[in-house]
Amino acid sequence: MNFNDEAIKKVLLAGNYIEEKDIAIAEEYAKEHRGSFVDYLLGQGLLSRAIIGQAFAESFGVSYSDLEAHSPRKEQVFLIPEELAKKYRTVVYSQKGSDVVIATDDPTQEELLANLQPLFPDKKLTITLAIPDEIDAIFANYHLGLGAIFAKIIDSKGRAAPEIINQIFEEALLLKVSDIHCEPEEHRVVIRFRIDGVLHDVGEMPKEYYENIVNRLKVQSKLRIDEHFSAQDGVIRYASPSHTEMVDLRVSIVPTLDGEKVAIRILSSSVRDLGLSDIGLSLALQEQIIKSAKKPFGMILVTGPTGSGKTTTLYSIIKIINTRGTNITTIEDPVEYKIHGINQIQVNTQTNLTFGNGLRAIMRQDPNTIFVGEIRDLETADIAVNAALTGHLMLSTFHANNAATAIPRFIDMGVEPFLVGSTLELIVGQRLVRKICDSCKVSFRINKVAELESFGSEVARHFKDGATLYKGNGCEVCSHTGYKGRIGVFEFLSTSPELQNLIAKSPSTKDVMALIKSQGFVSMFEDGIEKVKAGMTTIEEVLRVVGS
């Protein structure tokens, strides 16, 4: 069933879970931020996912089953066959004596009990309601793993390559994978998935089947199948039976000593729809970034390494400022997600459509806001700065270790320091850390801060004796990693008159950091520690990604 904003609003008000004045404030926030009013209520602590589930359950006259807090064991899940479970969106929540509790996200389904009762003879079945996302997470238990799936396909003696490719794609979409790696070795090919920023081996196959697989991927990507000794890049538009929209897959093939390695980036439409609250920004930081984005001119830079969510952050900003009264034009390499209502240009080196040339052309297109996929050379930087000086809002990504480093790096490229100071409105530094799995999250107490000294004094000083921390014990939902999903850690550097004066003197990173620290700057590490205290992630994860 549809747990949309209007349905949530209706059941919350009907059950007196929230007051109309809070709904009105939340809807005003959602209108201004072009997001969901639920995000505001969750961020303010006026609402929780469990409350939403409880409200819906009450409206249907059933109990609520919190699959996030109490995840069913794998053997419980298998009591309902996969086909039946997915048809009726249902899972065994608990089993005690002759009583079996069945959770579903749609308790109104006809024949639900009639079709499940034969699986549990002499048992009393009780139907409860669960949240759809939590049902989907439980369904991960049904998967065999790619190794077993490959073996079944090969044993069937059918057309192995198309089936294997489709299985890889479907498994990757189910697990919300960002990248697929097909790595040939001497006698086998290993398939690896990047899940929440970390690579995992998920299956292997005999090498003799690999050539046909690579050739099929080349055909789908419109690449040359007779070229085996040079790098090739292409795109696949994949029609998944489990998704309503086409999925874009960015394919890169390079020759290695043991054969051609394939890396595939999955450009999921779900990322395109993320708002500022979804990526981990607090309400205070959201207000700061929106204030800068609603200025008529200036430059907003987002810094971080590849895969740190920079483009997602900028798309979230564009989503807010995208109105019919503005002309937003982008130049990207590649265009990762199509956004309705804006003009998106794809870099094409074969036709000399570079970032620099594309940006010059955009300037003649009467733009209000310009998004440049990346500022990577002086030519692009100069045009971007001049665009920001002449009444345009400029958004771009920039490779720098942190926000403070971006300023001297920009100047080192050859841009005049006084122009940098005059145009920069905001620099956002960001990384992605893994979130603790909600299905197996547990709390534990730190009796003495000295227990944290192994993480370093910089970590220990942020905590007090008796602090409560959290971790994931590992379960089927998170593949026993203790983590599920990712969230951003951020640092915001806003320009001030003092910083503008300093930039004019071509400062070092150390000089910039000294000034902004005196002005209350909060680093990515400190933001990460706050998310540790809030139970979102762990100290180990913050140190792995950000350091101290």
The pLDDT tens digits for 87-131 are: 899 999 998 888 999 999 999 888 899 899 999 988 999 999 998
What tokens does 448 get?
A: 């003495």
Q: Given pLDDT bands bounded at 50, 70 and 90, which one contains residue 271?
A: low
The C-alpha R_g of the chain, in whole angstroms, comes to 26
CA angle 376, 377, 382 (to 5 degrees): 115
In three-state form (DSSP H/G/I as H, E/B as E, the rest C), the secondary structure along 160-184 is: HHHHHHHHHHHHHHHCCCCEEEEEE
Q: Read off the pLDDT of residues 179-194 as tens digits, 9 standing for 90 and up.
A: 999 999 999 999 999 9
Collect all residues with Cβ–Cβ distance below 8 Å to 291 and sequence separation of at least 6: none
Domain 272-432+488-521: top CATH class: alpha beta
Stated as kind and residue range, the H or E segment containing 60 is helix 49-60
- Return the number of other C-beta atoms located less than 10 Å from residue 113's C-beta: 14
Q: List the domain boundaries for the chain.
A: 5-132, 143-267, 272-432+488-521
- Reported as a single tens digit per residue, the pLDDT across 457-491 is 889 899 988 889 999 988 877 878 899 889 999 99
Taking the domain 143-267, which CATH number applies?
3.30.450.90
What pLDDT is recorded for position 512? 95
Please state, in angstroms and rounded to a whole number, the distance separating the CA atoms of residues 514 and 521: 10
